[in-house]
Amino acid sequence: MKLVLLGPPGAGKGTQAVKIAEKYQIPHISTGDIFRANVKQGTPLGVKAKAYMDKGELVPDELVVALVEDRLGQPDCKDGFLLDGFPRTVFQAEKLDAYLKGRNDALTAVIDLRVDESELMDRMIGRRVCRVCGAPYHITNMPPKQEGVCDLCGGEVYQRADDTEETVKNRFAVYKEQTMPLVDYYERSGALMPVPGSGGPEKVFETIVADLSAKR
């Protein structure tokens, strides 16, 4: 299983990624999580990335591509992986294709989560995330059992710095301009697997599993 999760901010990529990675026993690679970990540790990459993330802009391609290629080269990715939030530009998608082709490989599917924009804003503003393991929550739809504490690892549950209304609006605009062209790109390659992203995380997950088994 070599998978990509595509979809606008708040579509549920992170939520589904945790379930998919567990079911198929493949590593979950979220470029957003990698950048946030670097920001937290104050690494040179984190300092550069933060300036873009805080505005809701994309981190420059050359920083992202090198990071992902390095991660995909690690032994745990040999038999499969799940990319969450990468690729996000046509340039990134072309680099990923070239990387896989160089290894006689290709993507199994690109899961494109589709959710109405009206629903997305509420999801983003209400979202909370575990600072330690990254598990996503929502203040009303999916609250942790104990307020402020992660169900999975006991870490602190917090609100992401880029989940303010103004930044979210810019992230939507950036998605439409730079990432939406990937829907056509992967439609042409035959890898695109559109999945309705509304109706609760369990229902979405069941659809993904059924569609993947039909595709294999």
Catalytic residue annotation? 13, 88, 127, 160, 171
Choose, by CB under 5 A, the member of 8, 14, 134, 144 that binds Mg ion. 14
Assess 134 for contact with Mg ion (CB under 5 A). no
Assess 13 for contact with ligand AP5 (CB under 6 A). yes
111 in helix, strand or coil?
Answer: strand
Q: Phi and psi (nearest 5°) for 129?
A: -135, 145
Exposure string over 115-144, b if 16+ CB within 10 A, otherwise e: beeeebeebbebbbbbeeebbbbbeeebeb
Say what the alpha-carbon torsion angle 113, 119, 120, 123 is, to the nearest 10 degrees: -110
Assess 197 for contact with Mg ion (CB under 5 A). no
Structure tokens at 71: 């991660």
Rg (CA), the chain: 16
Assess 134 for contact with ligand AP5 (CB under 6 A). no
38 binds, among ligand AP5, Mg ion, none (CB under 5 to 8 A by kind): none
74 binds, among ligand AP5, Mg ion, none (CB under 5 to 8 A by kind): none
Q: How far apart are CA 16 and CA 144, in angstroms?
A: 17
Binders of ligand AP5: how many residues, by CB under 6 A?
Answer: 35
By C-beta, is 54 or 214 nearer to Mg ion? Answer: 54
Q: 171, 162 in Cβ contact below 8 A?
A: yes
By C-beta, is 35 or 81 nearer to ligand AP5? Answer: 35
Assess 85 for contact with ligand AP5 (CB under 6 A). yes
Measured from the CB of residue 5, what is the shortest distance to Mg ion in angstroms?
9
Q: How far apart are CA 60 and CA 16, in angstroms?
A: 26
Chain contacts with ligand AP5 (rule: CB under 6 A): 7, 9-15, 31-32, 35, 52-53, 56-59, 64, 85-86, 88, 92, 123, 126-127, 136-138, 141-142, 171, 197, 200-201, 204
